[in-house]
Amino acid sequence: MNSRTSFFTVVGALALAGVLIAALRHMETGAPLLPGAETEVWLVEARVDFRAQGGPVNVSLSLPEADAGYSAFNEQSASAGYGYAVVEQGDDRRAEWTRRQASGAQTLYFSAQFVAQPPEAVTPGQPSAPPRAVSVFWNDAQSTAAQNLLDRARQTSAGPRSLVRELVKSLNVQPLDQNAALLLGQAEDRAGLLVRLLNEEGIPAREVMGLYLRDARRRQPLASLVDVYLDDRWVLHNPVTGVPGMPADFLLWHRAGASLLDVAGGRNSRVSFSMLRQSVPVQQLAYTTNSDSAFARIGLHSLPIEEQSMFRMLLLLPLGAAVVVFMRVLVGVRTAGTFMPILISLAFLQTSLLPGLVSFVSVVAIGLMMRAYLSRLNLLLVARIATLIVLVIFVITALSVIGYQLGYSTGMVITFFPMIIIAWTIERMSILWEEEGAREVLIQGSGSLFVAIVAYLLMHHPLLEHLSFNFPELNLILLAAILAMGQYTGYKLTELYRFRALLDD
Amino acid sequence: MTSPAFIRPSQLRQRGMLGMNRRNIDYIGRYNQRRLYPLVDDKLKTKLLAQEYGVPTPQLRFVVREQHEIHEYRARIQEMEQFVLKPAKGSGGKGILVVNGRDGENFVKSSGAVLTMADLERHMSNTLAGLYSLSGVPDVVIAEDLIAFDDGFAGYSYEGVPDIRIIVFRGYPVMAMLRLATHASDGKANLHQGAVGVGLGMDTGRCLFAVQDGQRCDSHPDTGKPLNTLQIDNWQELLVLASRCYEMTGLGYMGTDLVLDARQGPQLLELNARPGLAIQVANDRGLLPRLRKIEAMRERRQVSAQDRVAFAMEAFA
């Protein structure tokens, strides 16, 4: 039993190390143990890609202004070999990168943290001089269509404010009237068209761009809104709904000034955004520049934001793995595929529980029906699985389209499920069905779903989510628990049921 | 007769029941070397090994290894009356196709279902592609003679060959059960598919206890034949056969699946490096006391299979 003692010493040491490191980190950096005592901070990273042409390069990116709805701090740029400065011209703030010579693919990063401003701070200051509507160029057909559209909007509205609403409505109503259809067909986007129509009408308007803040999104484009000058103030409008005012969770990135991105000396330029919701304690926010601590330097927060969102997911995996071990070793739940439940629960994390559950069950059910037909076709196994993969993709596409038409965006959700795994699950389930009957399929299927749901509920818990990312060393405790469970030689819970016949006598 | 839904862990411990976790760690993990697994996971290897050691197994007819070979065996299959097609790496009885007789060009399964040559070819194709093998690796098809089962079993099995599972621990047979196919198990002798498990006394091969689906049963559910009079002929010979598999494979904890052929006597069907626990329910007693008794034995010299069987028949009576 000596090896057993040393085994449990190691397990205990691991767990203790996890607790100690977490305690040290807490004392050293003040990282909070509870997710509650914090404010929400968005870490946003803009990534500019372009292809330099060998000569001098000058890149200028518009930055959020004071009235962006969020205030920025910790602005940083990562761009090897480039000179970098933030330039302010009146209302317009821009990040500028310069370099004497560059060629080939270039990537520049700008990142900043954003805290929501109180609503009263958001109202933009009055412009020093009232803006003027700019003149718009239309071709003949567009001009007639625009005039018709504006005439109609004018008749059904009482002033500029309602005119905006009526214009948006006329571009939305189904079926589109032919004027709207013509203009929409030739315009780059809806916001741009609205801006042109309003300027044509003599109402100053401009297109502004911003970012819908959603956790752990990568490579997002900016969304366009319409800024309309009404009653001596700029008022934002959603070009699709026509609703005035700033949308919720919206970071206004580019409002005044000329362009979002200028690149001189490069081609194919593109800007995309990644974002991550962080929880930062109120006091830490005040001393954002504190950290010389080793924890801060080697912590996950020092990684680029794209990797951070990935690690947030990855660090939840040990929790899922521990749940699977617990369920299989101590409880004795039978699942289809050992770690398949974790994959399902990861998908649930992206989709939220109910829609994910519904889509998963329906895809597998439809797949089983298709598989029943496939078994009559006398196909080789590999070809049959491949067929199933293609069919599963069709099913998911169909469900997404139908779901979208019915007004649920949940249809899209299933695309996160690993396709090949779904196909294999269906194949295994159908074999199970033929060989051991529907009952075994139900047992293993619901076993997998049960474990996945338990794993999801734990991984989704705000406290555990917070701890696993901010205190990654706590995963050592999970590791210790998994190791300890790996040595469990007692009975499983299900065996108490399985061996019940022994009680008869 | 309705048993309560759960049994307490202390009651299980008192009865010496071996649980899945303990089996995996203390017995399979400790006594079965990983490198030996292929010998039993691949039935073709087991068969060839058995021939080498003179352990009787059902006659091998042919082996199909590649998809394109399937057609070449069409003529051979056509001339066979009764045969079994099985995947070499199948587990839990998956993919075993038993042809009991012929109906002109077609083949009749033990359940009475009729299969065409195309059905057989698809089955073989699936097997080769790895449909029934552990973790889906490519496999080969083994065709072998069907066991003509002993008349002594008449009325005890429905649509299938009864087989005898004997757990062999370090060469000593420790527990045995007879598995009887039922209508519910589709001619297969797997307990979790509804077959009847009959615990056998180690000394005589007589019925001790019987279960179906985890519940006690006293007679065969399909034929109604009472089980308590059941006794296996050639019992000692069977145990010796099982015991010799230890020398053959070197696996310390294994399940041996044997059948009694009417003409050839005891035959080895297959070996299992991870034998199930249901045998304890069929015997109404746990494996642990017997396993511990053998673990406690200090004897280092080689003991012959006959002596090990003699010991087991006395110690586990």
- pLDDT tens, A304-318? 667 777 788 888 899
% of chain A with per-residue pLDDT over 70: 85
* B9-54+150-315 maps to CATH 3.40.50.300: no
Residues in chain B: 317
For B38-76, write each residue's pLDDT tens digit: 888 889 999 999 999 999 999 999 999 998 888 888 888
Find chain B residues with C-beta within 8 A of A505's C-beta. 284
Q: What is the dihedral of CA A389, A394, A398, A404, to 10 degrees?
A: 70
Counting one residue from A and one from B, how many pairs have CB atoms under 8 Å apart?
92
Residue range B114-138, pLDDT digits in tens: 999 988 998 999 889 887 876 667 8
CB-closest option in A492, A502, A505 to B281: A502
By C-alpha distance, the chain B residue nearest A375 is B122
Rounded to 5°, the CA angle A246-A252-A254 comes to: 135
Mutation for testing the A interface, residue in B21, B123, B215 having most A CBs under 10 Å: B21
pLDDT at B48: 93
CA distance A51 to A266: 5
Per the prediction, chain B carries an average pLDDT of 87
B3: nearest Cα among B213, B195, B209? B213
Arithmetic mean of pLDDT over chain A: 78
Complex prediction ipTM: 0.75
Q: Which residue of A has its CA nearest to B130?
A: A381
Rg (CA), chain A: 29
CB contact under 8 A, A491 and B21: yes
Task: Write the CB contacts of B106 (distance below 8 Å, at least 6 apart in sequence).
Answer: B114, B115, B116, B117
Distance of alpha carbon B251 from alpha carbon B34, whole angstroms: 9
Give the residue on A whose Cα is nearest the Cα of B194: A436
Q: What is d(CA B148, CA B82) in angstroms, rounded to the nearest whole number?
A: 9
DSSP B90: B
User: Is the pLDDT assigned to residue B3 strictly greater than 60?
Assistant: no
Question: Tell me, what DSSP letter sits at residue A486?
Answer: T
Residue B255 has pLDDT above 80, yes or no: yes
Name the residue range of residue A353's domain. Answer: 315-460
DSSP string over A412-473 = GGGGGS-HHHHHHHHHHHHHHHHHH-HHHHHHHHHHHHHHHHHHHHHHH-HHHHHHHHH-GG
Task: Express each pLDDT in A71-129 by its tens digit.
Answer: 777 777 777 777 888 887 776 778 888 888 877 888 888 888 777 766 655 555 555 66
Between A382, A437, A504, which is nearest B216 by CB? A504
Q: Do A505 and B284 touch (CB under 8 A)?
A: yes
Closest chain A CA to residue B25 = A489
Chain B residues whose CB is inside 8 A of the A496 CB are 6-9, 12
Give residue A505's Cα distance to chain centre: 60
**Range with the poorest average pLDDT among A120-124, A161-165, A359-363:** A120-124
Q: Give the residue-averaged pLDDT of A408-431.
A: 67
**What tokens appear for B51 in the block?**
């021939």
> Measured in whole angstroms, how far is the alpha carbon of residue A411 from the centre of its chain?
16
pLDDT at A289: 40
How far is Cα A335 from Cα B171, in angstroms, rounded to an integer? 34
User: Does pLDDT of A282 surpass 70?
Assistant: no
Q: Which of B82-91, B140-149, B180-189 has the lowest mean pLDDT?
A: B180-189
Residue A175: inside a domain: no
Q: Which comes out higher in pLDDT, residue A419 or B98? A: B98
Segment A387-403 shows an average pLDDT of 83
What pLDDT is attached to residue A283? 46
How far does the CA of residue B281 sit from the closest CA of chain A (Å)?
6
Is A408 inside any structural domain?
A: yes
User: Residue B314 to residues A355, B166, B176: CA-CA distances in angstroms?
Assistant: 62, 16, 14
Evaluate if residue B80 carries a pLDDT over 80.
Answer: yes
Find out whether A234 and A160 touch, Cβ atoms under 8 Å.
Answer: no
* Largest CA-CA distance found in chain B, in angstroms, rounded: 61
Asked if the peptide bond before residue A175 counts as cis, ω within 30 degrees of 0, the response is yes
Query: For chain A, how many structural domains are there in total?
Result: 1
Residues A466-501 pLDDT 10s = 888 888 889 999 999 999 998 888 899 988 888 887
pLDDT of residue B134: 66
Position with higher pLDDT, A437 vs A292: A437
Residue pointed to by tokens 């001098």: A56
pLDDT band at A286 (very low <50, low <70, confident <90, very high): very low
pLDDT recorded at residue A194: 79
B11, B15, B125 member nearest A380 (Cβ) = B125
DSSP letter, residue B182: -
Burial class (CB in 10 A: 0-12, 13-18, 19+), A502: buried
Give the model's pLDDT for residue A128: 61
With beta carbons less than 8 A apart as the criterion, state whether B131 and A384 touch.
no
Provide the token pair at A434: 């033929």
Instruction: Give backbone dihedrals phi and psi of B214, rounded to 5 degrees, phi first.
Output: 75, 5
Retrieve residue A251's tokens: 């970071």
Cβ of A490 within 8 Å of Cβ of B17? The answer is: no
**CA proximity to A224, closest of A234, A214, A203, A238:** A238
SS3 content of chain B, % helix, strand, coil (to 5): 35, 25, 40
User: pLDDT, tens digit, for every residue of A40-78?
Assistant: 778 888 888 888 888 888 888 888 776 667 777 777 777
User: If residue A480 lies in a helix (H) or strand (E), which one and from where to where?
Assistant: helix A475-485
Separation CA A384–CA A377 (nearest Å): 9
Cβ separation A378–B1 shorter than 8 A: no
Q: What is the pLDDT of residue B288?
A: 94
Average pLDDT on B149-153 reads: 75
What is the 8-class DSSP label of residue B97? E
Q: Which of A134-143, A399-408, B135-144, B180-189 has the highest mean pLDDT?
A: B135-144
Short-list A260, A269, A259, CA closest to A52: A269
Asked if A492 and B281 come within 8 Å (Cβ–Cβ), the reply is no
B95, closest residue in chain A (CA to CA)? A435
- Residue A90 in any domain: the answer is no
pLDDT value at position B187? 67
Helix (H) or strand (E) holding A77: strand A70-78
Minimum Cα–Cα distance from A439: chain B residue:
B193
* Closest by Cβ to B25, choosing from A382, A489, A502: A489
List the alpha helices (DSSP H) in A267-352.
Answer: 282-286, 294-298, 305-314, 317-325, 340-351
Q: How far A498 CA sits from the closest chain B CA (Å)?
A: 7
Mean pLDDT of B74-82: 88
B86 vs B300: CA distance, rounded Å: 39
pLDDT at B309: 93
**Average pLDDT in the B213-219 region?**
83
CA separation (Å) from B66 to A401, B70, B77, B99, B128? 43, 7, 16, 22, 7
Span B262-282, average pLDDT:
90
Cβ atoms of A131 and A229 within 8 Å: the answer is yes
In whole angstroms, give the CA distance from residue A423 to residue A448.
15
Window B:210-249, CB contacts with A under 8 Å = 211, 214-216
- A287: pLDDT confidence band, cut at 50, 70 and 90? very low
* Mean pLDDT within A14-24: 91
Q: What is the mean pLDDT of residues A366-394?
A: 82
User: How buried is residue A79: exposed, middle or buried, by Cβ count under 10 Å (0-12/13-18/19+)?
Assistant: middle
* Domain range annotation of chain B: 9-54+150-315, 60-145
Predicted local confidence at residue A158, as pLDDT:
79
d(CA B266, CA B240): 10
Is the pLDDT at B215 greater than 60? The verdict is: yes
Task: Look at A281-285, B128-132, B237-241 and tell me which has the smallest mean pLDDT.
Answer: A281-285
CATH architecture of the domain covering B60-145: 2-Layer Sandwich (3.30)
Q: How far is A482 from chain B (nearest CA, A)?
A: 14
Beta bridge partners of B207: B200
Report chain B residues whose CB lies below 8 A from the CB of A380: 67, 125, 129
Residue from A89, A163, A88, A91 nearest A126 by CA: A91
Does position B97 have pLDDT exceeding 50, yes or no? Answer: yes
